[in-house]
Structure 1
Amino acid sequence: MISKERVRHMTKLSEFENEESKACQKATQYFRRDYVAMELIKSFFAGTIAFGLLFVLWLFYDMENLVKKINDMDMIGFGIRIVMVYLVFLAAYLMITYIIYNRRYTKGRKKVKEYYNRLKRVSSLYREEENISNTDDWEV
């Protein structure tokens, strides 16, 4: 006999496996701090590249003013300002990365826990059904 509750649980399990399992897989493979640290390292390099590209674009955009002021410009002060802007940009970028991946880890672990609880429930429903069918065989 088909159990509606078991079908409902199995449908939810299938949805999880098809849609969300890949996203949650990393959350189950690592501890929280390892997962977040790995993403912070990736974001450090991505943020550095993004800042470099933005800086080059700004240089091309403001090339005319830079050429006019290059002889009168304090290069050390200019370099220090660029480094300070880079550090602020990177700190903000890494803070956002930390918040996002910390939440993803928490949500992923929660979804995986729900998945395993559903698996246990389906397994118990199968065992209950087996026990019922085994007792029916003896009553004949």
Structure 2
Amino acid sequence: MLDKRKVRLMTKLALYEQKEGREDMKISAYYKKDYISMKTVATILWTTVGYGCVILLIGLAAMNSLLENLTLTTMLVLAAVAVVAYVAALIVTILVTRKIAGGKHRDARMRMKRYNHGLIRLLKIYEKENKE
């Protein structure tokens, strides 16, 4: 005979596994600090690549103006502005990434705890059925 509680619980667990479960299991495999560090390193790399592309495009777009007014002080000022802007962009993206990744890891761990609790409940139902 089918137990409605067992069927509902199994359906709920299966839906979780198919939707969020795969991603949550990957995230939960890491310690929170390791997950945040991994995401931070990836953000630093992609921010550097993106910033380099933006600087290159701005340099190409303003090539005529730069070549006409090019002096040593202009080059130094532009380099200093570029470095300061890069550091500022890097700091902002790192802070945002750490906040988002920390929240994502926390939420995934909570969902995994609920999932594991559901598995334990299902196991208890099966154990109860086997005793009878």
Task: Note whether the superposition's TM-score is higher than 0.5.
Answer: yes
Partner SS for 2:7? helix
Number of the residue aligned with 2:45: 45
Deviates more, 1:48-57 or 1:62-71: 62-71
Number of the residue aligned with 2:92: 92
Deviates more, 1:108-117 or 1:58-67: 58-67
Partner SS for 1:83? helix
1:128-139 residue pairs with structure 2 within 5 A?
Answer: 128-131=128-131, 134=132
Q: Which runs of 5 or more residues in structure 2 are unaligned? A: none
Number of the residue aligned with 2:122: 122
1:103-122 residue pairs with structure 2 within 5 A?
Answer: 103-122=103-122
Instruction: Report the Cα distance in structure 1 between the residues aligned to 2:7 and 2:60, rounded to whole angstroms.
Output: 61
Partner SS for 2:38? helix
Deviates more, 1:116-125 or 1:71-80: 71-80
Number of the residue aligned with 1:23: 23
Number of the residue aligned with 1:77: 77
Partner SS for 2:2? coil
Partner SS for 1:80? helix
- AA partner of residue 80 (structure 1): A
Pairwise CA distance, 1:70? 1.5
Instruction: Report the Cα distance in structure 2 between the residues aligned to 1:62 and 1:22, rounded to whole angstroms.
Output: 47
Instruction: Report the Cα distance in structure 1 between the residues aligned to 2:117 and 2:123, rounded to whole angstroms.
Output: 10
- AA partner of residue 66 (structure 1): L
Deviates more, 1:41-50 or 1:58-67: 58-67
Query: Do the aligned partners of 1:26 and 1:35 also contact (CA within 8 Å) in 2?
Result: no
Equivalenced residues, count: 132
Pairwise CA distance, 1:14? 0.7
Number of the residue aligned with 1:138: none
Instruction: Report the Cα distance in structure 1 between the residues aligned to 2:72 and 2:37, rounded to whole angstroms.
Output: 43
Q: Which runs of 5 or more residues in structure 1 are unaligned? A: 135-140
Pairwise CA distance, 1:72? 7.1
Partner SS for 2:84? helix
Q: TM-score under structure 2 normalisation?
A: 0.91
Are residue 4 (structure 1) and residue 4 (structure 2) matched?
Answer: yes
Pairwise CA distance, 1:26? 2.9
